[in-house]
Amino acid sequence: MDVSTNQVLSVLDEVLGLGGRSASFGRDTRLLGAIPELDSTAVVWLLARLEEHFGIVIDDDTDGLTFATGGNLADFVGAKLAA
């Protein structure tokens, strides 16, 4: 399954309650450290929601880089789906 950056960002939008702000985000948009709503608690919720949305399992294989940009996050999810 092809995962679009838009799909991943819409999950982010919902989890963080951004109210559609993510519509202007793209692969190069900085996430962790740039979006105040994305704190460590939010990361936990985001991982949970990504797992549920895409039917993937995320163990201890994330780090700060995973959430650095929209593109990084979309690629991470894409790799999980391809596995």
Partner 1 sequence: MNKSRRMVALQARAFAAAGTDVLLLDLLGCGDSSGDFADADWERWIDDLLTACRWLQARSSGALWLWGLRAGCLLAADAARQLDTRCDFLFWQPTPSGKTVLQQFLRLKLAGEMLAGAGKPTMENLRRQLAAGAAMDIAGYQMSAALALALERSTLAPPLAPGRLEWIELSNRTGDELLPASLPVLERWRAAGFVARAHALRGPAFWQTTEIEEAPGLLSASVAAVLQSPA
Kindly write out the interface string for residues 36-55 of this chain, putting x where it contacts partner 1 by CB under 8 A and - elsewhere.
----xx--x--xx--xxxxx
Provide the CA 79 distance to its chain's centre, in angstroms. Answer: 13
CB of 78 to partner 1, least distance (A): 12
In angstroms, the first-to-last Cα distance of the chain is: 11
Verify binding: residue 28, partner 1, rule CB under 8 A. Answer: no
CB of 60 to partner 1, least distance (A): 5
- Residue 30 bridge partners (DSSP): 69
- Is 25 a binder of partner 1 (CB under 8 A)? no
In whole angstroms, how far apart are CA 38 and each of 30, 65, 71, 82?
A: 11, 14, 16, 26
Residue 57 token pair: 């399992």
By CB under 8 A, name the binding residues for partner 1: 1, 7, 10-11, 13-14, 20, 23, 40-41, 44, 47-48, 51-55, 57-60
